[in-house]
């Protein structure tokens, strides 16, 4: 009996190498004041290879060249490590890089590694990441289609086109909103979006105040929050500068619509003051920046215990979305995932692309690991050399 139990223990699956590939050419526009160009890399795919022939995949929201450099720095720490222990291995990477960009590029890069390690653990055990996180509360979730703000007529048309594709929840953000210093234009954009989305759709608004040199302050945010209530907007995101925690807290108390934020934060520890000071109704950590699934799950549980809603921001590639879907399955109250509309890196790299069901929801894969597979030929359109990602 005893020897049988021993035989069932999985032997270590050793990390042999980790590769990153920057994505180019089709990065979705950010609505940033310094807009992303086709030659800019802001998203990267990470592959963790092992001595058992299992490869795990993750993605990172940052310049792929920075990820490649980070992997060189981290290599002595991850080489030969057991890929079946994602939390311990990534915590080792965090703890030993205190002086070299903690919270920055290294944390972003570790996010991709951590997602890939969870993928490997799932593939090695035959379980989805959601199950590995402790259990599955749901097998489908509503994606909200995330779109850049446009002038009212264009805003109406773009929402109508994604509504026709089946989406039933929308978020509009960045672009001219607020930046035009024209509150009438702001309202006209939201009105056009609500008309195009229809009464029954969910609608959210993202000011994107983490943009460079955000020109507006608390009073604009307070007045705008009141306007948004008239259009049944479900939350107001990044309404003030991303470090203005006191303004967030004050706005949360007086705003008639919920306040969302924190997509720019990395490391679980950075979320503590935001939760203890009651600064947001909704936290939106990005699994591809914050430290990966190991970090994200701790933030999500911490938020849950503070009565703050968690909604993932991992839309940067199909792998980020896949990680968000697994996270959405494993928490009692997650009812949305962010899904950027019309991104080649989400729609165009999987062997089996995500498909909306009749109600505009996504099913959450109950297959080993993240439950998605990259199509090498499709990926090759967006990165010069995909070969190192494949064993």
Given the rule CB under 5 A, which residues bind Mg ion?
206
Which run of H or E residues covers position 70? Answer: helix 64-78
Residue showing tokens 């099913």: 363
The answer to whether 290 and 296 have CB atoms below 8 angstroms apart is: yes
Minimal distance, residue 221 CB to Mg ion, in Å: 14
Pairing of strands 140-148, 362-363: antiparallel
Nearer to Mg ion, 206 or 295 (CB): 206
Q: Rounded distance, CA 284 to CA 338, Å?
A: 9
Nearer to Mg ion, 19 or 206 (CB): 206
Minimal distance, residue 261 CB to Mg ion, in Å: 8
Minimal distance, residue 313 CB to Mg ion, in Å: 7
Q: Rounded distance, CA 348 to CA 124, Å?
A: 27
The answer to whether 290 and 327 have CB atoms below 8 angstroms apart is: no
Minimal distance, residue 175 CB to Mg ion, in Å: 12
Nearer to Mg ion, 119 or 263 (CB): 263
Nearer to Mg ion, 44 or 340 (CB): 340
Q: Rounded distance, CA 298 to CA 263, Å?
A: 15
Nearer to Mg ion, 114 or 211 (CB): 211
Minimal distance, residue 138 CB to Mg ion, in Å: 24
Encode burial over 53-80: b for 16+ CB neighbours within 10 A, e otherwise.
ebbbbbbbbbbbebbbebbeebeebbee
Q: Rounded distance, CA 286 to CA 66, Å?
A: 18
Minimal distance, residue 283 CB to Mg ion, in Å: 12
3-state class of 8 per DSSP?
Answer: helix
Give the alpha-carbon dihedral of 341, 345, 347, 352, to 10 degrees: -150
Give every strand in the sheet of 15-23, ordered side by side: 15-23, 43-50, 55-60
Nearer to Mg ion, 23 or 147 (CB): 147
Minimal distance, residue 316 CB to Mg ion, in Å: 12
Minimal distance, residue 318 CB to Mg ion, in Å: 19
Q: Residue of minimal CB distance from Mg ion? A: 206
User: What are the distances in angstroms from CA 25 to CA 14, 190, 198?
Assistant: 34, 30, 33
Nearer to Mg ion, 20 or 205 (CB): 205
Q: Rounded distance, CA 256 to CA 245, Å?
A: 18
Nearer to Mg ion, 94 or 309 (CB): 309
Minimal distance, residue 237 CB to Mg ion, in Å: 5
Residue showing tokens 């944390």: 107
Nearer to Mg ion, 206 or 324 (CB): 206
The answer to whether 205 and 225 have CB atoms below 8 angstroms apart is: no
């Amino acid at each position: 009996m005893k020897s049988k139990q021993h035989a069932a223990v999985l032997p270590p699956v050793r990390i042999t190498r980790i590769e990153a590939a920057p994505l180019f050419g089709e990065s979705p526009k950010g609505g940033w004041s310094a807009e992303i160009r086709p030659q800019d890399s802001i998203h990267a795919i990470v592959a963790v290879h092992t001595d058992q022939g299992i490869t795990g995949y993750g993605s990172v929201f940052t310049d792929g060249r920075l990820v490649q450099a980070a992997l060189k720095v981290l290599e002595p720490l991850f080489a030969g490590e057991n890929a079946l222990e994602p939390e311990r291995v990534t915590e080792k990477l965090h703890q030993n890089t205190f002086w070299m960009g903690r919270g920055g590029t290294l944390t972003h890069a570790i996010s991709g590694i951590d997602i890939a390690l969870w993928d490997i653990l799932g593939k090695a055990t035959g379980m989805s990441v959601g199950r590995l996180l402790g259990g599955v509360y749901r097998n489908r979730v509503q994606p909200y289609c995330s779109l850049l703000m446009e002038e009212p007529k264009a805003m109406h048309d773009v929402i109508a086109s994604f509504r026709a594709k089946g989406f039933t929840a929308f978020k509009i953000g960045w672009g001219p909103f607020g930046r035009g210093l024209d509150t009438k234009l702001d309202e006209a954009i939201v009105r056009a979006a609500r008309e195009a989305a229809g009464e029954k759709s969910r609608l959210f608004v993202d000011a994107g105040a983490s943009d460079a040199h955000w020109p507006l302050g608390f009073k604009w945010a307070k007045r705008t929050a009141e306007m948004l209530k008239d259009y049944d907007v479900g939350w107001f995101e990044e309404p003030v500068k991303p470090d203005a925690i006191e303004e967030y807290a004050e706005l949360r108390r007086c705003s008639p619509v919920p306040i969302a934020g924190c997509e720019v934060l990395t490391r679980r520890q950075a979320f503590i003051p935001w939760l203890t000071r009651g600064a947001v109704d909704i936290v939106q950590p990005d699994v591809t920046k914050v430290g990966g699934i190991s970090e994200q799950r701790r933030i999500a549980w911490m938020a849950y215990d503070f009565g703050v809603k968690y909604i993932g921001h991992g839309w940067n590639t199909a792998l980020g979305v896949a990680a968000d879907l697994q996270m959405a399955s494993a928490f009692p109250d997650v009812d949305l995932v962010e899904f950027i509309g019309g991104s080649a890196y989400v729609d165009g790299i999987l062997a089996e692309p995500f498909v909306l069901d009749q109600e505009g929801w996504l099913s959450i894969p109950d297959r080993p690991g993240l439950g998605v597979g990259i199509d090498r030929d499709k990926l090759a359109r967006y990165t010069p050399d995909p070969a190192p990602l494949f064993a």
